[in-house]
Homo-oligomer: A and B are copies of this chain.
């Protein structure tokens, strides 16, 4: 349906019933109010909606879902709307109602002895981190969008981020869930138990389902002791294989201490120096870098000695060419910025194509080399900018346009570039979406990558839990 046609009318009386249920703060219909909820983070999609629901309690949400289910209206759950794959925005039909969980943002409970907290879906990730810190604990999930992304969103997408190598994805940080089901019933699975073998693991089905099976409304999250010591090393390494060898050295010496291990290409670090820092980065002129972040909650953990000893070994082995260690909080923040500003630096350099892929950890060097070569063969002058979570096997295998090429012409080749990268990923037993999920952007790839029995099982589960197909239609599963 073209954008300029009016959306189909809602069933008579429904809007009134929703208004009386949710109150003036809970139902928005003005175009200006709706606008921020209709475009995705990357501006890939522009949707429409007749209204936005913002329930203030789980009971309000459940009742609203019952009303909409009875009317056969599709619903799009939305947290912080920071999806990289268009997972939280409505389509162009104007039929899908957006449901923001933002007002469900209470901290229901925190228990530093259990090392758990029970929080609602709309709580912003950064606020969740702060609540844990105030109780003397660590909630370790950390990612670029943490100031906007919500607990419900990161669970629905099984978000990863920088500390996954140590603490796992969102899934591993969750013990229990509360979910409003597609028919409006509430499943209370908010158990704060380490062990509970009583039937199917429903909580793991809702995590990563991207809102297609129901609304996660609250969760029991795991907490950890806060680090007492941290050390950050920034290293120029000989090549991709040397980067992996360095990871292995740290892991073998103190596996629990490696909080993050991030690879960056010389090209990407060069973009950062040019566009963000105005030329100044440490150890310039190398082709490969890693950032190794150590942390420990032990008193006198000796992380500085560990860092120096391992780097010295790796220097002697020729794996590390040069290295610097952050000497202050400010220096460490500056080093982390080199990694965190990679997307922004790439953007300023020109057009780029993003691939969030993973392979077995041992195959990361081969992934980077082969995907770079294949893309160079496809488009001469293309500039590979691989970076990311080497310790998890998750590389953002991004490609920057050749110098001087027209950006639009480059982006017109996006599909070819993604196919080229993915052919290598597939050959290495990898995944075409490591942490960003499927959303709307990658549903087309599901048949090819997850077809046969796997996709059939997913469709059966969807039909069993959401028989009307009203939950976030058009996401995850291909139409």
Contacts and interface: CB of A to CB of B under 8 A. Distances in A.
A195 B458 contact: no
Contacts of A158: 197, 201
Contacts of A299: 253
Interface in A163-181: 164-165, 169, 171-172, 181
Nearest to A196: B431
Residue with the highest number of chain B CB atoms closer than 10 Å, among A196, A432, A464: A196
Contacts of A463: 464
Contacts of A189: 454
A442 B196 CA distance: 13
A348 to B, nearest CB: 28
Contacts of A436: 197
Nearest to A200: B458
Contacts of A361: 113-115, 194
A435 B195 contact: yes
A330 interface: no
A209 interface: yes
Contacts of A409: none
Nearest to A181: B453
A262 to B, nearest CB: 14
A451 to B, nearest CB: 11
A157 interface: yes
A200 B195 contact: no
Contacts of A94: none
Contact of A362 (B111, B187, B254, B359): B111
A201 B197 contact: no
B359 A193 contact: yes
A5 interface: no
Contact of A164 (B169, B194, B458): B194
Contacts of A199: 208, 438, 446, 450, 454-455, 458, 476-477
Interface string A291-321: 0000001110000000000000000000000
A82 to B, nearest CB: 15
B202 A208 contact: no
Contacts of A281: none
Contact of A208 (B194, B200, B252): B200
Contact of A434 (B185, B195, B432): B195
B453 A197 contact: no
A437 B197 CA distance: 5
Contact of A197 (B157, B198, B360, B462): B157
Residue with the highest number of chain B CB atoms closer than 10 Å, among A209, A392, A457, A476: A457
A434 B193 contact: yes
B255 A194 contact: no
Contacts of A224: 255
A396 B224 CA distance: 26
A208 B189 CA distance: 16
Contacts of A207: 201
Contact of A193 (B115, B213, B393, B452): B393
Contacts of A194: 164-165, 358, 361, 392-394
A205 B200 contact: yes
A199 B462 CA distance: 11
Contacts of A298: 253-254
A297 B461 CA distance: 42
A122 to B, nearest CB: 22
Residue with the highest number of chain B CB atoms closer than 10 Å, among A198, A225, A359, A392: A198
A474 interface: no
Contacts of A185: 452-453
Given A164-B195, A189-B454, 5 more contacts: A165-B194, A193-B360, A194-B394, A198-B437, A199-B454
16 contacts: A116-B360, A160-B197, A164-B194, A169-B195, A187-B453, A187-B457, A192-B360, A194-B358, A197-B435, A199-B454, A199-B455, A200-B457, A225-B252, A253-B298, A254-B298, A256-B256
